[in-house]
């Protein structure tokens, strides 16, 4: 069979095994199209065998030629009569993140975000890329997850992602491109051996191929074996996760985790983070285990990577988004008749349903004048409804098992200089409605959820 026949057969087999019914009439393929040789061959091959396809080009803005590449991709797609979508991303690296990782994460986030239901994402990695990836992971001391390299098929963030060119070498793709007189972009950064992947491609793999001509195939087999090992490890991790789960998928029981061996702890950590869309290195996993899981009970350990942080509190392990910066000294006016969105915290305060006597609400006199929202400064005292005495807010937070990192971000409701509520937790005894009086609950929710709930209520 020639290249196109092998490509078509392999892709259709992957689609059939992925969806159970193959390529349905309303299912489109989406090619991540950079304009380079590999993605141009992929796009051209899909169109040549008559598969429904559209293209997405990611404008990273990292090269001076990036705008010209967009125009090149538009021209090629017009020639092929293929729909093209151009997406611009911010590919700047965060702390502890390489430029390559930052660009990859931004690229895949944009691609998956632009996918429509029942579409399949195709990317153009080939056998040489697989060899480079396996070598990079070996040099980084990766385990099975890293050495499995790039799977031909995976579902991530609800999107089916296929790599139909993995069985083909770069040489094979180049031969096809020249036979079809394709015009592609050459990215000058691909020759910069300051990048590890480029160094392997330009300096290491050519030497290996001189001695072992079938090295690409050997690496592909090795990666496939590691993928099979990874399936076994993840099956075990799923069992351990069930034993360590809590009511929240981003919180694990440290008591359950500590009953596992160190190796199973690491395996569970990697699997748990993967389910949250993260790909931690072994170095990060070790840091989490040593700095957080093994920390003293009275410690407040913290590990950050990508856009998340890992913390512990009361024998539980938390995965949290990096908190937005905000000024805890601010005072925010709040007319309680209207919802109040606190932007940096993505929280919303709003009036809830009328309270009954068993669950006291805010007295009418309190809600007829503007209130204020403040945040903990230290030294506050408060008497919740039903309590006999005032207590320090710090002690109330401790008794309620509120994690330390949340305490300074909980809105405190003031009437003048008097604290009358701790949003989401308590109403002050002196602010409650009288028996028989209709009172208001003060409710706190993530802003997006609160807006959605009010929208639904307005429709009923």
Does one domain contain both 204 and 118? yes
Tell me if 111 is assigned to some domain: yes
Last residue of a domain, one of 295, 321, 347: 321
For the entire predicted model, the pTM comes to: 0.74
What confidence score (pLDDT) does residue 343 get?
85
Give pairs for 401-407: CB < 8 Å, separation 24+. 401/313, 401/314, 403/311, 403/313, 403/314, 403/318, 404/300, 404/313, 405/311, 405/320, 405/323, 407/376
CATH number at residue 181: 3.40.50.620
Count of domains for the chain: 3
Residues 178-220 have pLDDT tens digits of 999 999 999 888 888 988 999 999 999 999 999 999 998 999 9
Tell me the CA distances in angstroms from 311 to 271, 294, 299, 408, one per residue in order.
Answer: 17, 12, 10, 16
Taking residues 140-167, what's their average pLDDT? 89
Question: CA angle 102-106-110, nearest 5°?
Answer: 170
pLDDT classification of 96: cutoffs 50, 70, 90: low
Tell me if 81 is assigned to some domain: yes
Pair type for strands 316-321 and 308-313 = antiparallel
Does one domain contain both 84 and 216? yes
Does one domain contain both 113 and 199? yes
What confidence score (pLDDT) does residue 97 get?
62
Residues of the chain with pLDDT > 70, as a percent, come to: 91
Tell me if 234 is assigned to some domain: no
pLDDT classification of 458: cutoffs 50, 70, 90: very low
- d(CA 146, CA 134) in angstroms, rounded, equals 8
Does one domain contain both 11 and 144? yes
Tell me the pLDDT of the chain averaged across its residues. 88
Beta bridge partners of residue 424, listed in sequence order: none
Question: Coil, strand, or helix at residue 1?
Answer: coil
Reading phi first (left if > 0) and then psi (alpha if -120 to 50, else beta), residue 98 is in beta
Does one domain contain both 249 and 147? no
Does one domain contain both 375 and 280? no
pLDDT classification of 335: cutoffs 50, 70, 90: confident
Does one domain contain both 303 and 342? no
The pLDDT of residue 298 is above 90: no
What is the phi/psi pair of residue 138, to 5°? -60, -45
Tell me the CA distances in angstroms from 181 to 170, 174, 175, 278, one per residue in order.
Answer: 16, 10, 10, 40
Tell me if 455 is assigned to some domain: no
Last residue of a domain, one of 181, 197, 226: 226
Does one domain contain both 167 and 277? no
Structural domain including 379 reads 332-446
Tell me if 326 is assigned to some domain: no
What confidence score (pLDDT) does residue 109 get?
86
Residues 373-413 have pLDDT tens digits of 999 999 999 999 889 899 999 999 999 999 999 999 999 99
The two structure tokens encoding residue 303: 């590990």
Question: Coil, strand, or helix at residue 158?
Answer: coil
Does one domain contain both 221 and 352? no
Tell me if 238 is assigned to some domain: no
Question: Coil, strand, or helix at residue 414?
Answer: strand
The pLDDT of residue 146 is above 60: yes
Does one domain contain both 211 and 111? yes
Taking residues 103-120, what's their average pLDDT? 87
Tell me if 268 is assigned to some domain: yes
56 touches 30 (CB < 8 A): yes
CATH number at residue 273: 1.20.59.20
Does one domain contain both 205 and 286? no
Tell me if 453 is assigned to some domain: no
Residues 260-283 have pLDDT tens digits of 999 999 999 999 999 998 988 888
HSE, CB side, 13 Å, CA atoms: give it for residue 90: 2
Does one domain contain both 220 and 284? no
Candidates 401, 403, 352, 407; CA nearest to 375 is 407
Candidates 266, 275, 235, 241; CA nearest to 256 is 241
The pLDDT of residue 450 is above 50: no
- DSSP state letter for 348: E
Last residue of a domain, one of 226, 261, 277: 226
């Amino acid at each position: 069979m020639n290249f196109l026949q092998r490509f078509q057969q392999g892709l259709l087999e992957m689609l059939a095994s992925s969806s159970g019914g193959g390529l349905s009439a309303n299912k489109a393929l989406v090619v991540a199209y950079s304009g380079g040789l590999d993605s141009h061959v992929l796009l051209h091959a899909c169109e040549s065998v008559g598969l429904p396809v559209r293209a997405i080009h990611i404008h990273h803005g990292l090269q001076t030629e990036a705008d010209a590449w967009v125009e090149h991709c538009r021209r090629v797609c017009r020639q092929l009569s293929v729909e093209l979508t151009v997406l611009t991303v911010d590919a700047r690296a965060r702390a502890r993140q390489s430029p390559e990782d930052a660009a990859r994460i931004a690229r895949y986030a944009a691609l998956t975000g632009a996918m429509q239901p029942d579409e399949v994402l195709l990317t153009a990695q080939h056998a040489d890329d697989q060899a480079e990836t396996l070598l990079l992971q070996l040099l980084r001391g990766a385990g099975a997850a890293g050495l499995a390299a790039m799977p031909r098929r995976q579902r991530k963030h609800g999107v089916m992602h296929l790599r139909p060119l993995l069985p083909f070498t770069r040489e094979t793709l180049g031969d096809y491109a020249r036979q079809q007189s394709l015009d592609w972009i050459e990215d000058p950064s691909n020759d910069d051996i300051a990048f590890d992947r480029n160094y392997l491609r330009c300096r290491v793999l050519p030497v290996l191929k001189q001695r072992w001509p079938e090295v690409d195939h050997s690496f592909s087999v090795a990666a496939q074996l590691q993928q099979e090992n990874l399936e076994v490890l993840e099956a075990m991790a799923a069992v351990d996760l069930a034993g360590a789960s809590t009511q929240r998928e981003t919180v694990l029981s440290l008591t359950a985790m500590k009953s596992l061996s160190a190796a199973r702890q690491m395996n569970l950590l990697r699997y748990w983070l993967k389910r949250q869309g993260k790909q931690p290195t072994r170095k990060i996993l070790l840091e989490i285990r040593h700095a957080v899981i093994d920390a003293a009970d009275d410690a407040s350990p913290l590990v950050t990577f990508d856009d998340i942080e890992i913390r512990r509190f009361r024998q539980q392990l938390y995965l949290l988004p990096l908190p937005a910066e905000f000024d805890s000294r601010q005072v925010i006016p709040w007319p309680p008749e209207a919802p109040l969105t606190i932007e940096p915290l993505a929280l919303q305060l709003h009036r809830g349903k009328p309270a009954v006597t068993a669950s006291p609400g805010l007295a009418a006199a309190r809600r007829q004048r503007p209130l204020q929202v403040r945040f903990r400064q230290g030294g506050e005292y408060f008497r919740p409804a039903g309590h006999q005495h005032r207590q320090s807010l710090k002690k109330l937070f401790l008794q309620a098992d509120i994690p330390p990192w949340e305490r300074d971000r909980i809105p405190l409701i003031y009437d003048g200089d008097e604290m009358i509520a701790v949003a989401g937790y308590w109403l002050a005894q002196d602010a409650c409605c009288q028996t028989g009086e209709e009172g208001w609950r003060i409710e706190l929710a993530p802003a997006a959820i609160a807006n959605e709930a009010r929208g639904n209520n307005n429709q009923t």
